[in-house]
Amino acid sequence: MGLGEVLLTVRAAPMLVAEIADELNKNGLIAENVFCLGARHGRHWKYLGGMRAAPYHCKIGYRELTIEADRVYFDVRGRNIGDLDRASPEKAKTFRESNFHWKWTEETGG
């Protein structure tokens, strides 16, 4: 997934967005050219199979960014049906991520 998608997801965390922008600028990069990995919902999720979610891992220049988040799931009527451990893959139609926390690590050559 592209960093642009991740930025849309984390837009509620302005400090994180600013840190990403700084790292992009330091390395002369644009978000459209940076790709990230995200956890994928398995096929057993009736509506969400294949959708990406935190944790996200993005290599920006010589650093790697790992973003974690709390996730809450909602049914077709928009009712909260719990977190990853409690939500039913058969009933979960959408999810929301919040409480983003992140860590930067230096890439080690090798």
Question: What pLDDT score was predicted for residue 68?
Answer: 98
Instruction: For the chain, give every domain's residue range.
Output: 3-106
Give mean pLDDT, residues 9-27: 97
What distance in Å separates the CA atoms of residue 104 and residue 65, rounded to the nearest whole number? Answer: 5
Closest by alpha carbon to 17, among 31, 34, 36?
31
Q: Could you tell me the pTM of the whole model?
A: 0.91
Question: What pLDDT score was predicted for residue 107?
Answer: 77
Query: Are 81 and 73 in contact, with CB atoms under 8 Å apart?
Result: yes
User: Residue 110: is its pLDDT beyond 90?
Assistant: no
Instruction: Give the chain's mean pLDDT.
Output: 95
Extract the tokens encoding 46.
Answer: 């009736």
Burial 24-51 (b: 16+ CB within 10 A, else e): beeeeeebeebebebeebeeebebbeee
Cα angle 25-59-70, degrees, rounded to a multiple of 5: 105
Q: In the chain, what percentage of residues exceed pLDDT 90?
A: 96
